[in-house]
Structure 1
Amino acid sequence: MKKAIKIKLFPTDEQQELLFQSCGVARKAYNLCKELDLQYLKQFGKGINDRDFGPLMTQIRRGDDFPYMKLVSADVAKQAVKDYITARSRSFKNFKNGYHVNWKTRKSKLSFYADYVKTKVKRKAVYISMIGDIKTSSQLPRNFKLGNPRVSYDGLSWWISITTEVPKPEQVELTDVSIGLDLGLTTLVTTSDGQTFDNIMKSESVKELDKKIKQYQRALSRKERGSKKYQQTYERFLKCVQKKTNIRRNYAFHVANALVRTKPKRIVMESLSIKHMLKNKRLAKAIHDVAWYNLQTIIIQKANFFGIEVVKVDSRFPSSQLCCVCGNRQPMPLDKREYNCQHCGISINRDLNAAINLASI
């Protein structure tokens, strides 16, 4: 089975310049595809055929209009073309007329593709075509086929992401129990068996980080963009943001590991309409901070790894309004934390009640 790996790179100053050039070429090639596509659409009423993008990009790269494209590997531009085709195909599914593909700007994530055939793994280093051997923070797996190597920059450090084949884990004997998960803001996860996981974003360490982030944002607004002081403050700001992201991500893995360790037959959770929830201005920041979608994705990945079935229930299912004992339905405003059934008289925590209802589906 495939596993994704992300490892930090330590390039020299010369290598870092080539990495930035590669990111620039990837962005330019992507934008050229969009520009040509829009011109063709305006002239002929339809976009360029997928198979015609490759020869067009080869012609552009060999010309004299963009000489810097020849300084980096040809695979960078080739993959940027494929990325545009993928983005365009995805836009057809989401929009009636397609072509809702965004331009890549200087604010976009800096990344490029490194051909898996030419990329070679060495001892605590990786060879990237036309850049050379770059030191890595840890050893990449050797004697394995590297899938879709991508080099990216997060504002502070360079990273390489790959997918590689790993042996399947031994089949774990699962119990006959179904676990329901209710995701919330006060308590991040409540399970149908009574287990709870606090919202890590409400911890003191994260609150201190939020204060620092606000201070750095105010400081940045007072400094001249591009100045040395601005850059120093921006790097400190990025470190705080990344630290907060890492805390949230590590905690999500902790929650997922704790859930699969109980070896349930299946895990049931709601398909949350997060886009709709973000319309509530009072809760928008808290909802954005907890990153429910990322948490669900990690839980699904861990469950699939151990062969646990994952069921996602429609967001319209009234899990919080139904009594887990008698099935009575009654309205439950957000400020009510206890479910007091008007039919059978049971009093139970609203999140636990919702989790039990989900588990019984």
Structure 2
Amino acid sequence: MSVGKTALRAYKTEIDPNPEQIVLIHKTIGTCRYVYNLFIQKNKERYEESEKFLSGYDFSKWLNNVHSKQEEFKWIKDVSSKAVKQSIMNADGAYKKFFKKLTAFPKFKKRSDYGNFYLIGSIRVKRHLIQLPTLGKVKLKEKGYIPFENVKSCTVSREGDRYFVSVLVEEDKLPKTETKKTEGVGIDMGIKEFLYTSNGESVANFSKSEQLIKLTKSLKRQQRKLSRREKGSANFRKQKVIIQRLHRKIRNIKMDLKRKLILKIVQRNPQFVTIEHLNIKGMQRNRRLSNSLQQIGIGYFIEWLRMKCLEREIELRRADRFYPSSQICSGCGERKKMPLHVRLYDCDHCGMKKDRDLNASINLKKAKEYTVLT
């Protein structure tokens, strides 16, 4: 039994703001969006005029001392300064990632029914409410979930007609019981089956579940109804809320299924987990695969798996992008071409016959060249 150190943990729960607080939440999200877009626009203009890049720190000084003092922009001061500051730093970070060729050029944020902002400062939590800077006391729908002490910061978010708060809390790590490591596992992800493990287990594509099929059909019907509503009318807004709730329900079900699947994998405490390096952006350019990939959400699965492996001290490996896991025979090591429509690996050398995804997962487990992610 080893004693751990402190760690930061996030707690997300729904809040029940009053009408005045809802107005302020909408206003803060809108202001943060305006400031973010203004930072991008300002630096775009400076680039076209061959001027030096304006950093987040310098932009913040200009915004506070010049821009927001103009009569028509004084409303910027009506919301939390910390939220505005964080929005500036987010835009600054997006530019820096672009300069390092890690991401594409920063995009302007559009007005929508979704958004969030960051708060730091005096945050107090009680069983039934949370006190936030600027917003004041806000009711919690889930009572007693958030710890009362060591709250560092929080993010308030809007998802359609519902509002949430995600609180970052510093906690002592739970004492870790040393358990025996089991054999490593390889995971092959695909479209027909969501994933295959080297243990022979397969998980069907989540979109094939009866519950999600029914919800998807209902969503299509509700979207057709929305198309017949007059844009901007009261009926249009009501129908939009119905669609947002269906989207949220579908997303939450998929998220829950993925998290339970990952928990099942890491609870076995394998020595390592090996995944393939998928070119998700490249695959999404294929019009036949893009919709299926979007429905599966492989990116979220990989990120959550990485977090849980880090938490449980399991080595997460990622095989080389060009490692031919589907083309190699897991029995004898011979290699042959495997078009995507061929679902059975039939080795001409040793006679082994296996599902192509199962064969690929076994090869991933055996992979010698990989990058350690955790």
What TM-score results when the alignment is normalised by the length of structure 1?
0.93
Q: Do structure 1's residue 157 and structure 2's residue 162 form an aligned pair?
A: yes
Q: Which residues of structure 1 form unaligned runs of 5+?
A: none
The secondary structure found in structure 1 opposite 2:71 is coil
> Contact between 1:118 and 1:129, CA under 8 Å: does it hold in 2?
yes
Q: Do structure 1's residue 297 and structure 2's residue 310 form an aligned pair?
A: no
Q: 1:356 aligns with which of 352, 355, 362?
A: 362
Deviates more, 1:42-51 or 1:158-167: 42-51
> Contact between 2:151 and 2:167, CA under 8 Å: does it hold in 1?
no
Q: 1:240 aligns with which of 237, 246, 265?
A: 246
Q: Do structure 1's residue 184 and structure 2's residue 190 form an aligned pair?
A: yes
Deviations 1:30-74 (A, max 9, x none): 222223323333345322134312211212234422122232222
Letter in 1 for 2:228: R
Kindly report the root-mean-square deviation, in angstroms, between the aligned alpha carbons of the 2 structures: 1.8
Give me the whole-angstrom Cα distance separating, in 2, the residues matched to 1:279 and 1:51: 38
The secondary structure found in structure 2 opposite 1:251 is helix
Aligned-pair CA distance for 1:320: 0.8
Q: What residue is the counterpart of 2:23 in the other structure? A: 17
User: Number of paired residues?
Assistant: 357
Q: 1:74 aligns with which of 54, 75, 81?
A: 81
Give me the whole-angstrom Cα distance separating, in 2, the residues matched to 1:21 and 1:245: 26
The secondary structure found in structure 2 opposite 1:153 is strand
Letter in 2 for 1:157: R
Q: What residue is the counterpart of 2:3 in the other structure? A: none
Trace 1:194-343 onto structure 2 (pairs within 5 A): 194-343=200-349
> Contact between 1:186 and 1:199, CA under 8 Å: does it hold in 2?
yes
Give me the whole-angstrom Cα distance separating, in 2, the residues matched to 1:63 and 1:124: 41
Q: Which residues of structure 2 form unaligned runs of 5+?
A: 1-6, 368-374
Q: 1:52 aligns with which of 50, 54, 58?
A: 58
The secondary structure found in structure 2 opposite 1:210 is helix
Q: Do structure 1's residue 27 and structure 2's residue 27 form an aligned pair?
A: no
Q: How much identity, in percent, do the aligned residues show?
A: 29
Letter in 2 for 1:357: N
Give me the whole-angstrom Cα distance separating, in 2, the residues matched to 1:211 and 1:99: 35
Letter in 2 for 1:107: S
Aligned-pair CA distance for 1:108: 7.6
Deviates more, 1:333-342 or 1:251-260: 333-342
Give me the whole-angstrom Cα distance separating, in 1, the residues matched to 2:113 and 2:235: 23
Give me the whole-angstrom Cα distance separating, in 2, the residues matched to 1:141 and 1:357: 44
Aligned-pair CA distance for 1:159: 0.9
Aligned-pair CA distance for 1:176: 4.8
Letter in 2 for 1:105: K
> Contact between 2:194 and 2:205, CA under 8 Å: does it hold in 1?
yes
Q: 1:132 aligns with which of 132, 136, 139?
A: 136
Relative distance call for 1:71 and 1:289 in structure 2 (3 A) is same
Aligned-pair CA distance for 1:264: 0.4
Letter in 1 for 2:80: S
